[in-house]
Amino acid sequence: MYRYIIKRLLLVIPTLVGAAALVFLLMRLIPGDICVVRLGSGGGTFDERAVQACHAQLGLDRPIFLQFVDFVWGFFRGDFGISMWSGKPVLYEIAARFPVSLEIAIMAVVIANLIAIPLGTISALKQNSPIDLAIRVFSIAGLATPSFWLGILFILAILDFSQAAFGSPWMPPIDYVPIWQDPLRNLSMVIFPALTVGYRTSAVTMRMTRSAMLEVLREDYIRTARAKGLVEHIIINRHALKNALLPVVTLMGIEAAFLIGGLVVTEQVFNLNGIGRLFVQSVQNQDYTMTQALVMLVVAAFVLTNTVVDLVYAWLDPRIRYG
């Protein structure tokens, strides 16, 4: 067992280096030059010398290998460098935007679970009844609907509804204030993107809860509990739910990746100054340092989550370990 743990943990480092190499390479394969974009997007004329000066300042004229070593070594030290677009430290830019994304993500997960777990349980208990059918349709619709389309429709609905009801249109604020500064304003801005992203997550969780619940309900110990005459809802809450939730919990780790993907488009639709938007910008601006840092953070989080999941599975099911 310990050998497996060590092996699995050791695998993390080459994985991260591999990811670093991949993102480094991909970014530089994309044709384009951040200096040219900066100087030329206005449409006027600019000097080749200005471009050279910009390259020198950003360290783009150094040999590729040196740039890569700097990047990887910096990553493991926690030094992500300076954003090539804004000239400010990468961590500063990320930290400025992190609270928004985090708040939306947390709210989305909370909402998702508040909706999903009860509905999934009911759906499992009343399998194949009209309620089950309705809930399943609802959850599949959540998986099928593009989240940005939902966002667009949301905003449209809010504006038109408020115009019809109050005479003048209302929309959530477009600049963010932290929750401790003005909770009402903050929540009014965050609730809609959270709902949009949360709907999809709730769909997945709902389905997983339902199928896990169904499996558990067929287990012998549930039949025994019923035979013993235990009250139904005690059976559900004390026995069934806990066991059913294990795969659901592990699923949440994997769903985090989809959540980030949902955040990227949702932040565009709702004009939120979050990590997703920063990501899209930095890729389009070809800001190597920023993109590399963001990708590495996402990859690191994902790899670590998966490692933990693998270890937990190995602990639970000895067959999966191998010497």
Instruction: Give residues 138-157 in contact with another protein (rule: CB under 8 A).
Output: 140-141, 143-146, 148-149, 152-153, 155-156
Q: Which of 109, 269, 290, 293 binds another protein (CB under 8 A)?
A: 269
Site size toward another protein (CB under 8 A) is 105
Q: Could you tell me the smallest distance in angstroms from the CB atom of residue 66 to another protein?
A: 19
The helix/strand/coil state of 209 is helix
Answer left, alpha or beta for residue 16, where phi above 0 means left and psi between -120 and 50 means alpha: alpha
Q: Could you tell me the smallest distance in angstroms from the CB atom of residue 47 to another protein?
A: 5
128 backbone dihedrals φ, ψ, rounded to 5°: 70, 5
Q: Does residue 39 touch another protein according to CB under 8 A?
A: yes
Q: Does residue 86 touch another protein according to CB under 8 A?
A: yes
Q: Which of 126, 129, 161, 169 binds another protein (CB under 8 A)?
A: 169
d(CA 123, CA 135): 7
> Which residues in 227-256 contact another protein (CB under 8 A)?
none
d(CA 296, CA 291): 8
Q: Does residue 190 touch another protein according to CB under 8 A?
A: no
For residue 31, with 0-12 CB atoms within 10 Å meaning exposed, 13-18 middle and 19 or more buried, which class applies?
exposed
Q: Which of 119, 125, 265, 293 binds another protein (CB under 8 A)?
A: 265
Q: Which residues pair with 82 in a beta bridge?
A: 89
Q: CB of 122 within 8 A of CB of 135? A: yes
> Which residues in 122-141 contact another protein (CB under 8 A)?
127-128, 133, 136-137, 140-141
Q: Does residue 73 touch another protein according to CB under 8 A?
A: no
CA atoms within 13 A on the CB side of 276: 24
Nearer to another protein, 112 or 142 (CB): 142
